Structure 1
Amino acid sequence: MTPRDDSEARGNRWSDLDRPPLNATALRRGLVREGGLWREVDVVQRTGSTNNDLVARAAEGTADEGAVLVAEEQTTARGRLDRQWTAPARSGLFFSVLLRPAEVPVPRWGWLPLLTGVAVATGLSRAAGVDTSLKWPNDLLVTVGGEERKAGGILAERAGDDGVVIGVGINVTLRADELPVPQAGSLALAGAVSTDRDPLLRGVLRSLEDWYGRWRAAGGDPAASGLQETYAAGCATLGRTVRAELPGDRSITGEAVAVDGDGRLVLATAAGVQEPVGAGDIVHLRPA
């Protein structure tokens, strides 16, 4: 028998039997329907960033609301605060969607990343059978060995005057020796009952369609749509002492007591002041 060339095996899309490719045909059949949100589902083997690609397509007029772009591998993906997001091919779900919430006032569009976080957490809890929570604003947390680990993130970008592209990255089968940082995790490491990416992606996108429809029908009102209450119930940041690292090298330390109507995290400081935080990096300083 001729020995297998390791470099050839790494380049073979079928070489890792634990990570089969997504079935684009089955995904379209399960998600695209008359009257539904999702209009097209494209799967590419490799790209720099699905967000960049979909923003460009929206600008060119070749993508409309309900477009979904999925990549088996991303080479220049970004997370919040321009952090790089890297993962082996087919080890996770890496996708972007284009939304055009015309009937919702623009000031309420800031809820879209939080809405997506709720949809992802809800969809994965059902489809993967793993407990998830959200670190404000939209990091997906799972428990690995008794510790909270980040298993996913969300990045929203404007696409012209009337659109938003939301990118999602979720670590599904990432193994311990593949973690980019010790604080990272994956659904597999968290004991998920299923790591089959096809039903996981369908579950997340159906959940996103449901939450987006509720929010849009309520004119983007986070209270009337139930979004604000659901987000708070699943937010691991609330009730904790945290440090908010803000733009301009400022920081605030306090107890996270609420998420307000604008989606901001409200901190109660030692000085007895409640300060809303709309952007920044949150560090959990003690368990809830």
Structure 2
Amino acid sequence: MFSDLERPPLDAQFLQGRLVRPGSLWTQIDVLTETESTNAVVAAAARAGTPEGLVVAAEHQSSGRGRLGRTWTTPARSAVLMSALLRPTAVPADRWPWLGLLVPLAVAAAVRRVGEIPAVVKWPNDVLVEDRKLSGILLERVEGPAAVVGIGLNVTLRESEKPQPAATSLALEGAATTDRATVLAAVLRELATRYQTWVDAAGDPATILPSYRELSATLGRLVRVELPDGTHLEGRARDLDADGRLIVDTPNGPRPLAAGDVTHLRTN
């Protein structure tokens, strides 16, 4: 059992002081002791007309959600669990899917900077260390229009607490810091910088692609992709197209994929 000294609570006032300033993207940071889902809280705020820049973090989520209807479970205070409200109205609607690639890229870059570990991105929106999952992102579009960006990042998760063998955490990877406030602030700063650059360029993929290719764990790999219709395909992930779709070279030719669950295949 962890004590408050080992897993201290987040201080909302401290985070506000570091991140909410004139000209900043972030306008309000709330910290909840427990909630079913930070994405649900922020989505409700978005529908009520709350401006861009709200961040809701939670010490524990009782019904945290991941992609494809999966659950995201972590012990209390062991992870950064937060959702942010964005309204990229200056970006054409057909470029909004790039936000789903921008966010994990920002998380990986922040972790590399403050954690000093080789975090990489797995298409479409996971963050890995080698093939171990460190972070997952859930992006939801709600009426408004608005985007709700949910981030779950394991910080002090121990080996005995792993929900699955492929999970990892900053602590397990020997990161330079496991202070959640430091990590949370680094992620939000990195996200704000990359998001503003993308918005200023009207969502131009060129603001994302070079860095994504550099930090991608998927491009160039042999992959198996489970598709939404229940079928699957295998091939080599070659690149992203202009819409952010993953291009997989298969025996039947290239396939651009907008969605799917990717498994990296090992080669002997």
Q: What TM-score do you get using the length of structure 1 for normalisation?
A: 0.90
Structure-to-structure mapping, 1:12-23, within 5 angstroms: 15-23=3-11
1:274 pairs with 2:254: yes
**By how many angstroms is 1:159 displaced?**
2.1
User: Which whole-Å CA distance do the structure 1 matches of 2:100 and 2:152 have between them?
Assistant: 13
- Residue in structure 2 matched with residue 5 of structure 1 by the alignment: none
1:161 pairs with 2:135: no
> Deviation per CA, 1:261-284, whole angstroms, max 9, x where unpaired?
21111001123x111111011111
8 A contact 1:228–1:261 mirrored in 2: no
- Residue in structure 2 matched with residue 70 of structure 1 by the alignment: 57
Greater Rg by CA: 1
RMSD over aligned CA atoms reads 1.4
- Residue in structure 1 matched with residue 227 of structure 2 by the alignment: 246
Percent sequence identity is 49
- Residue in structure 1 matched with residue 175 of structure 2 by the alignment: 192
**By how many angstroms is 1:199 displaced?**
1.0
Structure-to-structure mapping, 1:13-162, within 5 angstroms: 15-61=3-49, 63-143=50-130, 148-162=131-145
- Residue in structure 1 matched with residue 238 of structure 2 by the alignment: 257
Task: State which of 214, 232, 239 in structure 2 corresponds to 1:233.
Answer: 214
8 A contact 1:240–1:287 mirrored in 2: no
What secondary structure, in the 3-state scheme, does the structure 1 residue paired with 2:205 have?
coil
1:182 pairs with 2:165: yes
User: Which whole-Å CA distance do the structure 2 matches of 1:21 and 1:190 have between them?
Assistant: 22
The letter for the 2-side match of 1:278 is: A
Q: What TM-score do you get using the length of structure 2 for normalisation?
A: 0.97
- Residue in structure 1 matched with residue 184 of structure 2 by the alignment: 201
5+ residue gaps, structure 1: 1-9
User: Which whole-Å CA distance do the structure 2 matches of 1:268 and 1:286 have between them?
Assistant: 17
**By how many angstroms is 1:64 displaced?**
1.5
What secondary structure, in the 3-state scheme, does the structure 2 residue paired with 1:253 have?
strand
8 A contact 1:245–1:281 mirrored in 2: yes
8 A contact 1:72–1:89 mirrored in 2: yes
- Residue in structure 2 matched with residue 217 of structure 1 by the alignment: 200
**By how many angstroms is 1:161 displaced?**
3.5
What secondary structure, in the 3-state scheme, does the structure 2 residue paired with 1:236 have?
coil
User: Which whole-Å CA distance do the structure 2 matches of 1:44 and 1:249 have between them?
Assistant: 37
8 A contact 2:87–2:145 mirrored in 1: yes
**By how many angstroms is 1:252 displaced?**
1.3
> Deviation per CA, 1:204-240, whole angstroms, max 9, x where unpaired?
00000000011001100111x2x11111111101111
**By how many angstroms is 1:287 displaced?**
5.6
8 A contact 2:171–2:178 mirrored in 1: yes
User: Which whole-Å CA distance do the structure 2 matches of 1:248 and 1:221 have between them?
Assistant: 30
8 A contact 2:46–2:144 mirrored in 1: no
What secondary structure, in the 3-state scheme, does the structure 2 residue paired with 1:252 have?
strand
5+ residue gaps, structure 2: none
**By how many angstroms is 1:16 displaced?**
4.1
Q: How many residues align?
A: 268
User: Which whole-Å CA distance do the structure 1 matches of 2:245 and 2:28 have between them?
Assistant: 33
**By how many angstroms is 1:60 displaced?**
2.0
What secondary structure, in the 3-state scheme, does the structure 2 residue paired with 1:58 have?
helix
The letter for the 2-side match of 1:29 is: G
8 A contact 1:241–1:254 mirrored in 2: yes
8 A contact 1:142–1:187 mirrored in 2: no
